[in-house]
Amino acid sequence: MSDTLFVFTDASYEVVNEQQSAGFGGVLVHPRGDCIAHFGFNLEEEHLRRLNPGAKKTIVHECEFLAVAIALEPWKGHLGSKQVVCFIDNNACERFVDFGKGIR
């Protein structure tokens, strides 16, 4: 278990009065429960337009996947050769990330 790190990510997306908003966040946790690193931010309107060029009704799946990708990239140095367990609350994103397991 000491060679395992835990990544918790989440994202939000909503449209209110035709205004899109989205945010991401993540936490890298040691098996003892200590927070090693974390991040959280909101996407600006320009980035939302790039993420949703077809103006789909929702892009929550894309946002959830981006949260995982954004978490893993800068934390590569912490992850090294350790086993990583990602906790994702979006089934479509979870299946996609599971499909890529073992890829470095």
* pLDDT for the residue numbered 36: 93
Q: Which residue has the higher pLDDT, 85 or 38?
A: 38
Q: How far apart are CA 78 and CA 74, in angstroms?
A: 9
Please name the fold of domain 4-99: Nucleotidyltransferase; domain 5 (3.30.420)
Q: What is the mean pLDDT of residues 69-90?
A: 82
Q: Using one digit for the tens of pLDDT, what is the confidence trace for 2-33?
A: 688 999 988 888 877 877 788 889 999 999 99
